[in-house]
Structure formats: C-alpha cells, structure tokens
Structure 1
Amino acid sequence: MARNLIVKDLPELYETMGLPVDPVDASSGLTVHYLQQTFTEFPFTSVPFRPNYFSFLFIQEAFGKYTIDDQCFEVRPGTVYFTNPGNYRIFEWYSITNTCLITFNEAYLKENVHEDVYRDFSFLLTETVEPRVLSDEQFTVVRQLYQQIHSEHRGVSPYKNRIIGSLMVALLLKIKEHFFQDYNPIYEGNRSSQIVKTFKRNLELHFRDLVNGKVDIPLRVQDYADLQSLHVNYLSSVISNKTGKSVSAWIADKTVAEARVMLQNPALSIKEIAIRLGFLEAPHFSNYFKKHTSQSPAEYRKLHVG
C-alpha cells in the first residue's frame, strides 16, 4: 500500500480496509462513533494512510499502538489523541472495550464552530501532538462532552449542527486547557515542521483577507514561498513530503472550504462569492467548484440553505 494513500474522510478509509461504513456517515463533514462497533477481531493493523481530516480519539478502555510520521505512541486507557490532516500514520488495535472517535474537516469547523476557528484554537495547525493521559476527573469531563456530541449527532433536532457546534467549542476549549495552554504551534518542531505550520498560517491569514475583501488577488505557490524567503521548489518539496499534498492542493482545498461556508449565506450571490475568492468570472468559479466537489455552487446552496 502506498505511503501516501490520502483519504478524504473516515468512510473512505474504512472502505479501503474492508470495514463497515454504516456508523460513519461523513456527509456533514463530521463523524462520531465508538470503535468497539467497528473493530471486532484483534489484533488489527491499518493500512498506512494520510487523512484529509482532523480527529479526536478518546480511549476510555483500549490497548494498541499509533504511529504518526516517525513517532510511535502507546494506546492505553485514559488517553486522548488529537491529529490533524496530512500526517502519515498507521494504527494497531490489540483490544477495544470503549473508545470514541470524532473526525471533522475544516469546512465543518468553519460552518458550525467559528469562521475564524484558528484564532482561538491555533493548536489545530500543529503537526504531531503527543497523546495525553488524563486524570480520571479530567477524562470524565471530556467524556460527558463527547457522549453528548455522539447523542446529538444521532438525533434529528433541527438545531443539531448548532448544538454540536457549541459542544465542539467546549470540547476544543477542554483540549486546549489540558494540552495547549500558552501554546504557539509556529515555534514547535524542527525546521520542516515550522515551514509547514507557517505555510498553513499564511494560507489561513490570506484567505481571511480574501473573504473579508482586504485583498482581491489569490496568492500563488511562488507567493507562499516568497513569504518564507524560500525557493519555490524547496517549499513545494517540504509541503508534499510532510503532508502528502502539494501546495496547489492545499490552496484548492482551502478555496473550496471557504466557498462552502459562504454559499450557506443566502445574502451573498454566487457572483460576489466568486469575486471574494479572487475569480474574475463567476462561470470560472462555478467550474472550479464543480471540479472539486462534483456539485455546482447553485446545487450545493440548494442542498444546504433552507
């Protein structure tokens, strides 16, 4: 199996490994499920993969091993894992009694948590985060949150996404409290890690300015290299090797994520969204969006705006 197998969501990963996908519908950009429902034969070793999503793993009772890039971590009761898109990884399970996994993509965060989510939760930009074993008291608080998220996710409330979004804020704040107080991801890790995190930060800041109308021309790969005083080939090599995705793919994914958020605002016309994202013509934006999502902007809006 290729080291750079990139999966866009959890169902795709499970399908690749021949696991049941029924409990993990990712159509909203969020999945919440208990692993004991999926993994029933042990030991189980995953294919090597690079996820295109964030994940939280809450291990109340399970044992195994998790490899992220070149680091290997033990999985044991009371452990909380946070991982973000791009890292090479492989997991092994020896037993699972009670473990919850939450996965989500950037569009879900921006649509349901906060449009400027990286401002308050800069740790989302980090690369490899060591798992933390929480005290019983700390884990109980976190467990109450992920259990409620799981319950709401399975429910049919018309306010479901807003409720989950609020619970996700609480969960992210608790993770920040236990893992990342006074944490600045830009200064963590080796030189390559810093280049990746600085690129992600520059990407986020530039798109924030685009969406808010402060700039009107999208940055190119060369521009992102210039921001770090790097040769464009070197930046491209570091980003591809560390994340499994090219700089262009990161820019495309970011463009689509921001477009999805704005398309849910009925006050914005598709033409205005196109202009804000730096497209000279609305049809060009429509073709670009459809190429990356298999839906036109109008089709996406019709499905997501009541």
Structure 2
Amino acid sequence: MRTLSDFNTELKLKGFNVFQIEEDGNATRVYSRKEFYKICLTTGKSKIHYADRTFDAEGTVLFFGNPHIPYSWETLSTSYVGYTCLFSEDFLDPHNRSDSLQKSPLFKLDGTPILNITEEQREFLNGIFQKMIEEQKSDYPFKDDLIRNYINLILHEALKLQPSENFNAQKNATRRLASVFMELLERQFPIESPDRPLQLRSAKDYAKQLSVHVNYLNRAVKEVTGKSTTGHISDRITLEAKSILQHTDWNISEVAYALGFEYPTYFNNFFKKHTGATPTSLRA
C-alpha cells in the first residue's frame, strides 16, 4: 500500500497524478504539495467551500481547484465515486507558450470552479479520466504529451458548459478579496524545508496570484483589516521565523533562504526591525 509520502514523491517527480476515488466517502486525497492544480469529477452529495463561497453539490460535478485559492470539501453521502487529476502548471505547459492558468475562468478567483454535469457528459469525461489512468501506467514514451492533451480536452469541454448557478450570493467584493488574501497567506506556511523556500513574499506576489491589481488588493485589505497587506505578510514571516529558529537546527543562512531572503543580512535586518532582537539571540 502506498503511503502519503510515496504519493507526494511520485507527484513531485512526474508533475502529474490521476487516480480513481474509492467508494468509501474519501472524496479527496490529502496531499502536501502546494503547487498543484486539481480537477475532480465526482458523483455524490457534498459541500464545497471555495474562497468564501459555498457550493452544495448533489449528483455529478466537475471541480477545478487552484492551489493558490483556499478550498475545502465536505463529503455528505456515504457513497462517493469519481476521479481526481493533479498537475502542475509546468507539466501542462512545459514551454510556457500559453497564458497562465490563473487567467482561466475555471481557475481564477472570480471564475467558475464547479460545473453541474449531465449523465451523458459524465460518461464522456469518465472515459477521458480512464484513458489518463491507463496512459499513466503505460510505457509509451510520449505519454506525458498524450496526458496533457487529455487535460486540455477536459478544460475545453468545461469551458463550453454553462456556469453553475448554485453558488451562494457573493459577499461584498472588498471583504471577499481580503478574506481570500488572508487565507492564501496562511496557506504558505509552515515552511517544511530550506529546499522549498517561501514563494510569495510581497503584496505584488499575492496580487499576481489572485489576478488583481496590487493597489486594489492593498485597499481591500487595509479597509477590512485596518492593516496593510505588507504588514500582514511581514507579521506572518516574523512568526514563522521565530518558529523555525526555536524548533529546527537550520543555520541562519538556511532560515533566511527558506523565508525568501536573498542574503542572511537582509533577514537579520528584517528580524531585528520587527522583533527588536537578532535571530541568533532567540537561540541563546
């Protein structure tokens, strides 16, 4: 039996994984990689929380998960079947020839991540997922290209469908954006290894991930929380720095790099500015 560690290692190496959901209520498989997009074709009853929207799903739905937008899934029925596909943006477009998936209406913040699927559509999509599973196990030398074509076929089929109307009414746009930013910020932590450093360090980084202008993000966060976007980011990095310094044996250079600082001196200055102490003094 494969362990979660084996699953994560395989996913990281290939940049892709597809599997069938067992009929035991386990609608989603837990995985720790943060850079993977998800497509789920599921039949059953569930409640899906995406950003600050909630979708009550019954029957068959096609779900598109963006790793930069918080979402969770509550399975409500005892029988739950379907397929899940995980892939990185680099896997889908290794030559960076197309626009970012962040701009797709299926994956962007204000997009349509959940679609109701008819029985005819379910049978067609089932066939595509089954073909991906078969190719994943094959020795065909160009199977990655074939799997990419299957993923793009699912994306195009989804774009032809009408958006679901079952989302709860959207909340105030400003509060919604601020809420998603705060959840996205928290999702960047904890830092698990110096080899996987923090990727989103500035307000511009978060604005890009959320496909909004940085000024709009700053205004929304300030209006709702009373604190600037940069202030929230700095506070969370400081908190993580304290945790790493107290609970790991990483040297200061490793801590600095893990938190996205180019040089240890930059980290030292940042830490002293926000705590009044040096990183080494925390370990004394």
Bin of the TM-score, shorter chain as denominator length: 0.5 to 0.7
Relative distance call for 1:169 and 1:147 in structure 2 (3 A) is same
Answer yes or no: is the 8 Å Cα contact 1:51–1:87 preserved in 2.
Answer: no
Query: Which residue of 52, 56, 67 maps to 2:35?
Result: 52
Distance 1:162 1:76, change over 3 A: same
Q: Which of 217, 225, 234 is 2:228 aligned to?
A: 234
Partner secondary structure for residue 93 of structure 2? helix
2:55 corresponds to which letter in structure 1?
F
Structure 2 matches for 1:149-164, cutoff 5 A? Answer: 149-164=132-147
Q: Distance in 2 between matches of 1:229 and 1:45?
A: 36
State how far apart, in whole Å, the 1-side matches of 2:102 and 2:71 are: 27
Any conservation in 1 of the 2:52–2:176 contact (CA below 8 Å)? no
State the 1:53 CA deviation. Answer: 2.1
Take 2:258 and 2:57, find their aligned partners in 1: how far apart are those partners?
39
Structure 1 residue corresponding to 2:18, chosen from 32, 38, 60: 32
The question of whether the paired residues in 1 share the 8 Å contact of 2:101 and 2:107 is answered with no
Q: Among 148, 156, 160, which residue is 2:131 paired with? A: 148
SS of the residue aligned with 2:90? helix
Which stretch has the larger CA shift, 21-30 or 153-162?
21-30
The unaligned stretches of length 5 or more in structure 1 are 1-10, 181-188, 198-219, 247-286, 293-306
Equivalent of 2:55 in 64, 73, 80: 73
- C-alpha distance in 2 between matches for 1:72 and 1:169: 26
- The residue type equivalent to 2:65 in the other structure is T
The Cα RMSD (Å) is 4.7
For the residues of structure 2 that align with 1:228 and 1:50, how far apart are their CA atoms? 26
User: Residues 91-240 of structure 1: matches in 2 within 5 Å?
Assistant: 91-93=73-75, 94-111=77-94, 115-118=97-100, 122-127=104-109, 129-179=112-162, 190-191=173-174, 221=202, 228-229=214-215, 234-236=228-230
Question: Is the Cα contact below 8 Å between 2:89 and 2:101 reproduced in 1?
Answer: no
CA deviation string 1:198-252 (max 9, x = no partner)? xxxxxxxxxxxxxxxxxxxxxx947678x644659734468x6xxxx99xxxxxx
2:66 is aligned with 1:84: yes
Aligned residue pair count: 197
Q: 2:240: which partner in 1?
A: none
1:43–1:117 CA distance, 2 compared to 1 (3 A): closer
Alpha-carbon distance between aligned partners in 1 of 2:152 and 2:114, rounded to the nearest angstrom: 20
Taking structure 2 as the reference length, the TM-score comes to 0.52
CA distance in 1, matches of 2:54, 2:15: 28
Asked if the contact 2:51–2:71 (Cα under 8 Å) also holds between the matched residues in 1, the reply is yes
| Cα distance, 1:173 vs structure 2 | 0.7
Confirm or deny: 8 A CA contact 2:27 2:80 kept in the other structure: no
Q: Secondary structure at the match of 2:49?
A: strand
Identity over the aligned pairs, expressed in percent? Answer: 15
CA distance 1:221–1:45, shift in 2 (3 Å): closer
Change (3 A) 1:120 1:221: closer
Tell me the TM-score normalised to structure 1 length.
Answer: 0.49
